[in-house]
Amino acid sequence: MKLKTLISAMLACGTLAATPYTFADKGGVPNNNSSQMSAAALQNCCTPGDKDYPKVGGNLGNQNYSDLNNINQGTVKKLGGAWVNRIEGGVNTGDNQSSPVVVDGVIYIEAASGTVYAVDGKTGVTKWKYAGKGSQTRRGLSVGEGKVFTNARGGFIVALDQNTGEVIWEVAPGSSYGNIGKVATVYYDGLVYVGTADGNRNAALALDAKTGQIAWTFFGSHPPGQNPPGNPVIDQKTGQAVVAGDTWGPAANNCYATGGAAPWVHPAIDPELKLVYWTFGNARGCASSQDGSRRPGDNLFSSSIVAMDLKTGQYKWHFQSVHHNIWDMDNVMSPTLANFKVRGQDQKAIVYGSKVGMFYILDRTNGKPLLGVEERPVPQEERQATSLTQPYPVQGGFMDTCVVEQPLGTQVPGHPARAVPNYLRKDLGDTGCLFDRHWDRPVLSTPSQNGGANWAGLSFSPRTGLVYVGYANVASAHDLVESSNGLRATGEYMTGGVVAVDVATNTVKWRKDMPYDMSHGNGIMTTKSDLLFVGLPDGNFLALDATTGEELWRFQTGASVSAAPASYEIDGEQYIAIYAGGTGIPYGNTAPRGDFLWAFKVDGKVPPAATPKPPYQRKDVSGNAVEGTTVNNTVLLARTSATSAESVAVGGMYPTHMRVPVGTTVTFTNPATNTLPHCATQFFEGLFNPKLNPGESFSYTFNKPGEYFYNDCTDPRPTGKIVVY
């Protein structure tokens, strides 16, 4: 853009006075020293961000680490708001999961409305905005060649002028590659790397940054008889060559064509090795992620990390963390690259893993485990064509991999791995552990598709040698018939925490429990001063001691945080930025929403936002509350309405949600026209547990305010709640 046109546009937006930058006549690239710092952080995988935070993940290795240390353990208690920009004018809706990117002192951020904003990092003034093509969930953009690369509704990738927000090009590669939408883009050396999700068959894409033309593609599933171009594909269990397309079951079933295997988070890049590392999601072919009956085999490259050539997309190596996945337990978190010593030897490593609650520490040159991974036998279900073994790091996981059953009434509130009653059947071989078998009856296990960890970004600190991740304590039940990818058990607590793992040994260094699920977007950033920054679903933004987990500072942002922070420096002053917007996962509409883009600095004067109503911490029943008097203070077991047939639906208590005053006696009835015995098992307090044959009733008087969940022993899915006020 010509300088005259640029100045006119800035005057029209009212931003010229707030803009301390000068611009080159060609290419629109800012002329200042910080651009050199941005470039340095993008020349190899593991140089940390300095004055800028030039991509989602901080650097090409997704280390989420800043080399700045003016905000340190001596000054962090003086941290305050430098400014806050309600970028969408005060909107309190949408799924806001975008992490800020900072280049040359300007913050680039996407909002749930589909709008892209450029905000002055020192003043908080909006410099320009791109209106987009409509609302959709976003997780971050990328910057390069004087352009901002973003997604837009309708499957578009859009390149914007970095200085003005004007559209340079836009392309829609087409749904044959999967659906383009929420995945953060990554720019490196002339290419834009784009992930896809939620399609029948999904591909990783590389686009020419100048034109938007597709440079190469890599699909997560391949046709029978075919391998991707590149190195031979080696089966990690046998060490023998294998054909990826033949791991999706009989050719006649054509399961690869609906295989899913989506690369739905952004990759890591190692320029020295000329590799891009992408994680691929669940197998879904021929049915669902819970049904493996028609796709026997390992289903490559689902639930895998794949190394590809940066420029051509040719296959180099892979590591599959879940063979023949029937649990929605893909480890689709952006991988983290790091250099450190293992047993005294320098290693180029990649840290991979999330949902299974275990990290696989691999050699990123060849995908081989650096610390040992063994294939262990797992429970078998012949109808599911389950894999005989699954890979386990020999050091173990970073959290529980089995639910804990305790007698009702004895469990401590918020116990991280407690089992909701009636799900586990020991007589049928249920273990409640990772990789437990299932078929048509729901079987509870942990971790779940919610985590372990999920898509919240890891942070690696080269100072501490620790990798940090937020995780969730949310067990899920798996079976063939649920419409979703596993059933969050109604009534369970959705809690979590932050854990620090020593990458040289793959062992837990410290753990900090939190009252919330910390796996859905609660990205972590660490700094040279051994600080760890993370946002919570209740709007609090925390600084912890990265060596111990001790809380040092907190600040109320006004809305749930579902993104990672960024750090940058302007005029010698360090800032921390975070976008507090909120999202529906996992707390639904109870998570407070907003459009708060915050920047913090030492001695910042902007006060905290008003404290919003915190998220509801339990998986709630469906439906609005019914006053007990309207149904004669009676619950019908295994019914979805007063006149329905016997039901094992999740909402199979009528009414599902009842309100009564203290002192009310509630009657639980198994209607005479039901055919099976049913229970009202109250949990976790264990106040009552009647087993009623058809036509029988039981009454209980509620003498204390609170909420009381109960489910059915015949099938645990029907769950109800009594609220006593």
Question: What pLDDT digit, counting tens, does each position of 630-680 carry?
Answer: 999 999 999 999 999 999 999 999 999 999 999 999 999 999 999 999 999
Give the count of alpha carbons within 13 A of 114, CB side only.
Answer: 15
234 plus 295 within the same structural domain? yes
Rg, C-alpha atoms of the chain: 26
Span 510-535, pLDDT tens digits = 999 999 999 999 999 999 999 999 99
Asked if pLDDT for residue 506 goes beyond 50, the answer is yes
Residue 28's pLDDT band (boundaries 50, 70, 90)? Answer: very low
Residues shown for the chain: 725
Average pLDDT over residues 315-328: 97
> Two tokens at 37?
């710092």
Residue 17's pLDDT band (boundaries 50, 70, 90)? Answer: very low
Look at the chain and report how many structural domains it folds into: 2
Q: Give the CA distances from residue 121 to residues 83, 525, 573, 602, in Å, rounded to whole numbers and listed in that order.
A: 9, 18, 11, 15
Q: pTM of the predicted model, to two decimals?
A: 0.93
CATH number for the domain harbouring residue 493: 2.140.10.10
Give the count of alpha carbons within 13 A of 724, CB side only.
Answer: 15
597 plus 630 within the same structural domain? no
583 plus 662 within the same structural domain? no
> Two tokens at 406?
């305790």
**pLDDT confidence of residue 408:** 77
The answer to whether residue 406 is domain-embedded is yes
Closest of 155, 153, 161, 152 to residue 10, by C-alpha = 161
630 plus 598 within the same structural domain? no
| Mean pLDDT for the chain overall | 92
**pLDDT confidence of residue 11:** 32
Q: Kindly report the backbone phi and psi dihedral angles of residue 510, in degrees, each rounded to the nearest multiple of 5, phi listed first.
A: -155, 165
The answer to whether residue 393 is domain-embedded is yes
121 plus 163 within the same structural domain? yes
Q: Kindly report the backbone phi and psi dihedral angles of residue 307, in degrees, each rounded to the nearest multiple of 5, phi listed first.
A: -95, 130
CB distance 567 to 577 below 8 Å: yes
Q: What percent of the chain has pLDDT over 70?
A: 93
383 plus 295 within the same structural domain? yes
Span 112-151, pLDDT tens digits = 999 999 999 999 999 999 999 999 999 999 999 999 999 9
The answer to whether residue 509 is domain-embedded is yes
Average pLDDT over residues 541-569: 98
**pLDDT confidence of residue 262:** 97
585 plus 696 within the same structural domain? no
Range of the domain at 395: 76-602
323 plus 201 within the same structural domain? yes
Span 51-88, pLDDT tens digits = 999 999 999 999 999 999 999 999 999 999 999 999 99
561 plus 690 within the same structural domain? no
**pLDDT confidence of residue 317:** 98
Span 167-194, pLDDT tens digits = 999 999 999 999 998 999 999 999 999 9
Name the domain boundary from 586, 602, 618.
602
The answer to whether residue 383 is domain-embedded is yes
Q: What percent of the chain has pLDDT over 90?
A: 87
Span 202-261, pLDDT tens digits = 999 999 999 999 999 999 999 999 999 999 999 999 999 999 999 999 999 999 999 999
Q: What is the arrangement of strands in the sheet containing 268-270, beginning at the earlier edge strand? A: 268-270, 275-280, 304-309, 315-320
Closest of 608, 612, 606 to residue 124, by C-alpha = 606
237 plus 311 within the same structural domain? yes
**pLDDT confidence of residue 41:** 67
572 plus 708 within the same structural domain? no
658 plus 550 within the same structural domain? no
Give, for 6, the enclosing helix (H) or strand (E).
Answer: helix 3-13
The answer to whether residue 20 is domain-embedded is no
Closest of 181, 199, 86 to residue 141, by C-alpha = 181
**pLDDT confidence of residue 410:** 67
Asked if pLDDT for residue 9 goes beyond 60, the answer is no
The answer to whether residue 353 is domain-embedded is yes
Span 439-466, pLDDT tens digits = 999 999 999 888 899 998 899 999 999 9
Name the domain boundary from 602, 634, 660.
602
Residue 40's pLDDT band (boundaries 50, 70, 90)? Answer: low
How far is 544 from 553, CA to CA, in rounded Å?
A: 7
- Nearby residues of 10 by Cβ (< 8 Å), 6 or more positions away: 16, 19, 127, 164
The answer to whether residue 118 is domain-embedded is yes
The answer to whether residue 636 is domain-embedded is yes
- Nearby residues of 352 by Cβ (< 8 Å), 6 or more positions away: 279, 305, 319, 321, 331, 335, 359, 360, 362
Q: Higher model confidence: residue 32 or residue 493?
A: 493
CATH number for the domain harbouring residue 691: 2.60.40.420
Q: Higher model confidence: residue 34 or residue 677?
A: 677
